[in-house]
Every structure is written in C-alpha cells, then in structure tokens.
Copies of this chain bind each other. A is one copy, B any other.
Amino acid sequence: MSPLRSGGYLRAVLARARGARLSAGTRGSSGGPGGERDSPAGASLLRGELDRFGGVTVRLSAPDRLDVVAFQRGLQAAVQQWRSEGRVAVWLHVPILQSRVIAPAAALGFRFHHAESDSATLTLWLAKGPSRLPGYATHQVGVAGAVFDENTRKILVVQDRNKLKNMWKFPGGLSEPGEDIGDTAVREVFEETGVRSEFRSLLSVRQQHRHPGAFGKSDMYIICRLQPCSFAIELCPHECLRAEWMDLEQLARTERATPVTSRAARLLLYGHREGFDKVDLTMDELPAIYTGLSYKLYHRPLPDTYRMMAGVD
C-alpha cells in the first residue's frame, strides 16, 4: 500500500465532512505534490501522513465552522480503512481552538497522548495486542548546586520557604525545557542566593516515582558540585527562608539536613580530604550520530590511555 493511496482514501473520506478539506502525503512532504495538489489555496487542511512504523498522522487544521458530526463520521470511516490496510496506529494533532473534535474522537477510542500550550495529540492503537506506541516524557528533572569553597571548607546551604520542615539543603530547582544539568544548577544557585558559580561535576542522581510535585510523574534530582565565583549572599525572599555558608563537616553531621543533602555533604567531605576525583562524574560533549545534534555525557574520569584508544571518539 503506497503512502499516497492511503492518503487518497483519507482525502475521499474527509471531503464528505462538510467544510473540511484535506491533503495528504508522506512524512515531510507538506510542501510537496501530495500536500498541495488537491487543496485550494488558503483552504484549511486535514493531513494524513504515513510513517515508517506503520502509523498514520493527521494534523487537524480545520476551518472555524467544521461540522463535528460530519468530522466524526469521516474519522470513523478513515479509521476503518486504515485498520483494513494494516496501519498500526493513528496520531491526531488538534489545535486548542479545535478542541470540540476531541470528544467525538474519544468516542471512537482516541485518548490523549500529550498536550502542551495550544496543541493536543491524541492516539488510537489499531493493531492487535496492547499499544506499542512510545509514551510521552515521564520525568521532571531537578538540579541542586553544592557550591563548595575549598579554601574555607564552607558550603552554601538554604532552607526553602513553603516547606513543612525547615531542613538545610542545597539551592536548586527544576530544569527549564532544553536546559543542561549544570546550567540549571548555576542558574538556581544564583536566583536563590545571588552567588555566582561554575559547574565542576555531577555528584549524585536520585530517582523518585509518583512524585506529588510532578503531577504524579517521576522526578530525577541531580546534585552538582560547583565552584564559587562570588560569596555575598542576596537571598531570594520568595523562595528561601535563609541561606548561609556552613562548615562542610557541620553539614555532614547535622540532623537538620535532608538525607540526600547529608549524603552529598559526606561525599564532598570525602572528596575534599582525598581528592574530588574519588566522587566526581565529569562531563563531555559528544555528537549524536542519528540526529546530528550533540549531547552531554557524564561518567567517571577515564585515564588518557583509555580515552585515546582507536575508535570513534
């Protein structure tokens, strides 16, 4: 079954939905012949695209007066056809202002895959057995900065506002979309305490599920070792109750610190006494071969003899 034959069927079915016009093409062909030839200039489009995994993607861009009943009838017929053609799944992208098509799609079995800002994506699994579609993002990432001054053996700690117990912890917060771990640590330390710092290493990774502060999703909390570049504290009153430079051994021994803070303080004390190479994960940037992008990789420092072995990096 060629992409255009299925696309052609989608055109035929949905042309009956009053007010809805559509075009179809293979993935990435939105400007190509399949995407253009049947759609009048300026017409709103319903696109049906096939992907290499056997799925069909429909990007809804319907006119204001889309007839919801006709849409549902057209979608139902299209789903029957896709199923008969052996398609495994349908992805339906809906702009927020077209949300009235969501309930009719739900009546056909579609469910939310994800939604953000002004767009929702629904899916319907067509093949036998449970859905093998990939899920959406499952984790929020929080990062804390352990800013340690080796000269004075002082470490920067805060107490959060809005917490039930006032325990010492490292300043930190959630990563912004697209933000690297070390950049989150440096930014959050500065926002909460006014202290400027530089990323040195990654010390620990914590994974916690069904997190109440993550809408029931999982939480990854990473502590970084940072080097201070300034020392004057300017407390952010919205986020912190107090902040101070505390002796590292005092932090490692106090019961007024969260368990993960206490553990990181002991790692730092060990590193301070016997070398940070005992506790650090250092960072490298590497190319991603499939996407052409790059990424940051954190692991134990590797001696040069191992780094320089013949190979790809």
A binding-site residues for B, Cβ under 8 Å? 52-53, 96-100, 102-103, 106-107, 111-121, 134-141, 162-165, 167, 174-181, 202-215, 217-218, 220, 252-255, 257-260, 262-264, 266-267, 269-270, 278-281, 284, 286-291, 293-300, 302-303, 306-307, 309-313
Asked whether A293 lies within 8 Å of B112 as measured between CB atoms, the reply is no
Asked whether A297 lies within 8 Å of B209 as measured between CB atoms, the reply is no
A102 to chain B: closest residue by CB: B99
Asked whether A306 lies within 8 Å of B136 as measured between CB atoms, the reply is no
A268 to chain B: closest residue by CB: B306
Asked whether A100 lies within 8 Å of B97 as measured between CB atoms, the reply is no
Q: How far is the CA of A176 from the CA of B310 in the complex (A)?
A: 36
Tell me the number of copies of this protein. 2
Asked whether B134 lies within 8 Å of A137 as measured between CB atoms, the reply is no
- A305 nearest CB across to chain B (Å): 9
- A230 nearest CB across to chain B (Å): 25
Known: A115-B114, A311-B254. A286 touches B299 (CB 8 A): no
Task: Identify the 3 closest CB pairs spanning chains A and B, nearest first.
Answer: A115-B115, A99-B102, A208-B295
Asked whether A137 lies within 8 Å of B312 as measured between CB atoms, the reply is no
Q: How far is the CA of A203 from the CA of B106 in the complex (A)?
A: 43
Asked whether B118 lies within 8 Å of A311 as measured between CB atoms, the reply is no
A271 to chain B: closest residue by CB: B300
Q: How far is the CA of A303 from the CA of B271 in the complex (A)?
A: 11
Known: A116-B112, A202-B205. A139 touches B136 (CB 8 A): no
Q: Which residues of chain B are near A134, meaning CB under 8 Å? A: 140, 174, 213
Asked whether B178 lies within 8 Å of A210 as measured between CB atoms, the reply is yes
Which of B177, B217, B260, B302 interacts with A297 by CB under 8 Å? B260
